[in-house]
Amino acid sequence: MKAKLLSLVCTSSLLAMSVAQAADIDVKITNLTQGIYFTPILVGAHNSDAHLFQTGQTASDGLQAMAEGGSIDALSATLDSINANTLANPAAGLLAPASSAMGSLTTTQDNTTLSIVAMMLPTNDGFVGLDGWEIPTEAGTYHIYLNAYDAGTEANNELVVDGSGAPGTPGIPASPGMAPGTQGSGLTTTESNMMVHIHRGNVGDDEAVGGKSDLHNTVHRWLNPVAKVTVTVK
Amino acid sequence: MNKFTPIIPLACLLLAACGSDNDSNTIVTPVPPTPDPAPMQYEFKVTAINLTNAQPLSPLGAALHTSGQFWQIGEMASLELEQLAEGGDNSGLLGLPVVNSSASSEGAVGPGQMIELMLTTTSLMDQKLSLVSMMVNTNDGFTGLNSIDVSQMSVGDYAKMTTRAYDSGTEANSEQSGSMPGPADGGEGFNALRDDVDKVAMHPGVVSNDDGLSTSVLTSAHKFDNPLMAVTITRVK
């Protein structure tokens, strides 16, 4: 089922080779939400056949680990294995609501497309993502707005549970910034769409103890877009 | 990637307005009639992915037309749009006189599912592409593309876009049992009664029982945020 790993296919077509150009780029990521944190962000420039995720496809194991627990180790290793240029964890930890992180990349060879992922906290398996954006060859500053995705790998029960960042363990591993509610009964036990899709948002409730959700309905919601990316091609 | 907005220079318009006072005599040689060439065929491929968690999309309708719009924000929904938005029936919109080519998926497009439609036509001039589908676990919510200009696309060109959620404004968003045709309810589809704002607007989203609408038969699973579909339009011929 989880066989849709990052595509390792590297076409050696003449077209791909003709655009092999190194570029220096700055990448700035702004968390546009009011109450959602981003876990360590992974930025990668890679060949145009590779994807960290694709809507309508099942998540890879690495994507699941990132979306459920915030670990970018597996996805970083996959990027390394295809000679991608990566910028890992530019925020040096969590990126708080309405704040920015920045870093630089030098792209090599055929690494002409840019992808970005980071888990959104507190969610079960929500992440902010950019899938294969073509890096312009012309110098300039470019803006991209990102949506919130659901990896489709875990039911959105909205219960904060220690240790639930491990893939397959239901629950939200942490609620930074604001103590979560407790003893929620759980919103749901199933996930209807098991492919990567647009996140339907957190629901939350207004009960500190009990209710269905451990999240707060006046704090932990968002609407797309959830991030702004500014790419400067030098 | 390739939508060009043609800008007609002012000089051209002035020139055209001048008329001709050319009085040179030209001898016209009659051209022998040539056999009619087979009419040129143009073809577009439309792929769409349902990005929602639990909103099946009613059979996806695609149309080519050179004028008109299937909906306009702030305007009353047409009867045909109401039939789509309340009951998921795209036949009215696809059957409008302005439509010169249309296609519909056979069944609903489930969450996470991808569908492909082909549209063919014999003229490219002024062609616009529209796409429509209902979120079936809503009262009168729909998504789609409205009059996307494809007349300047070359063979092999493609355009990627996403679609948003609209509300036809023709039925109150009660979310009550018996009011929605999708599997979450199995209720009524189209009803000619208009008991809502009677203007098309962006959809406010569903509330659901989990979120405090006690009379709703929907759950948190049926909530959605924009965008609803990821669409790729490719000119293949």
Q: What is the mean pLDDT of each run of 10 residues along chain A (234 residues)?
A: 35 41 92 97 97 98 98 98 97 97 94 98 98 96 98 97 95 95 95 97 96 96 98 97
Tell me the β-bridge partners of B115: B48
Residue B55 tokens, joined: 């909103």
Among B53, B226, B227, the residue with its CB nearest the CB of A150 is B53
B94 lies in some domain: yes
Tell me the β-bridge partners of A130: A116
CB atoms within 10 A of CB A215: 27
What pLDDT does residue A109 have? 81
A171 with A228: CB under 8 angstroms? no
Which residue does chain B place closest to A224, by CA atoms?
A: B226
65-124 in chain B: CB under 8 A from chain A: 111-114
What pLDDT does residue A9 have? 32
What pLDDT does residue B38 have? 76
What CATH number is associated with residue B62? Answer: 2.60.40.2130
Which residue does chain B place closest to A218, by CA atoms?
A: B211
Q: CA–CA separation, B218 vs B211, rounded Å?
A: 10
Among A56, A192, A203, the residue with its CB nearest the CB of B49 is A56
What pLDDT does residue A140 have? 97
B32 lies in some domain: no
Among A56, A156, A223, the residue with its CB nearest the CB of B225 is A223
The residue assigned the tokens 């945020």 is B225
Residue B42 tokens, joined: 């143009």
B9 lies in some domain: no
B114 lies in some domain: yes
For A157, how many CA atoms within 13 A lie in the half-sphere containing its CB?
21
What pLDDT does residue B29 have? 66
- Among B113, B116, B210, B231, the strongest candidate for a mutation testing the A interface, having the largest count of A CBs within 10 A, is B210
Q: What is the mean pLDDT of chain B?
A: 89
pLDDT over 50 (residue B236): yes
Spell out the domain ranges in chain A: 21-234
**Worst-scoring range by mean pLDDT, B5-14, B147-156, B186-195, B205-214?**
B5-14
B21 lies in some domain: no
CB atoms within 10 A of CB A207: 16
Residue A98 tokens, joined: 């309405």
What pLDDT does residue B14 have? 35
B14 lies in some domain: no
Number of domains in chain B: 1
Task: Quote the CATH superfamily of domain A21-234.
Answer: F-spondin domain (2.60.40.2130)
- Burial string for B89-124 (b: 16+ CB within 10 Å, else e) reads bbebbbeeeebebbbbbeebbbbbbbbebebebeeb
Q: CA–CA separation, A72 vs A44, rounded Å?
A: 11
B153 lies in some domain: yes
For B114-172, what is each residue's pLDDT tens digit? 999 999 999 999 999 999 999 999 999 999 999 999 999 999 999 999 999 999 999 99
Cβ-proximal residues to B85 (8 Å cutoff; 6+ apart), any chain: B77, B134, B140, B141, B142, B166, B167, B168, B170, B171
pLDDT category of residue B214 using cuts at 50, 70 and 90: very high
Q: Which of B135, B129, B149 is nearest to B226 (CA)?
A: B135
A52 with A9: CB under 8 angstroms? no
Which residue does chain B place closest to A56, by CA atoms?
A: B112
10 Å CB burial of residue A102 (0-12, 13-18, 19+) is middle
For A169-218, what is each residue's pLDDT tens digit? 999 999 999 999 999 999 999 999 999 999 999 999 999 999 999 999 99
CB atoms within 10 A of CB A134: 10
Cβ-proximal residues to B83 (8 Å cutoff; 6+ apart), any chain: B89, B91, B92, B93, B190
Cβ-proximal residues to B6 (8 Å cutoff; 6+ apart), any chain: B152
Among A147, A194, A212, the residue with its CB nearest the CB of B112 is A194
Q: Which of B142, B202, B225, B233 is nearest to A147 (CA)?
A: B225
Range of the domain at B157: 38-235
CB spacing of A212 vs B210 below 8 angstroms? yes
Tell me the β-bridge partners of A148: A128
| Residue A95 DSSP one-character state | B
Tell whether the torsion through CA atoms of A212, A217, A223 and A227 is positive or negative.
Answer: negative
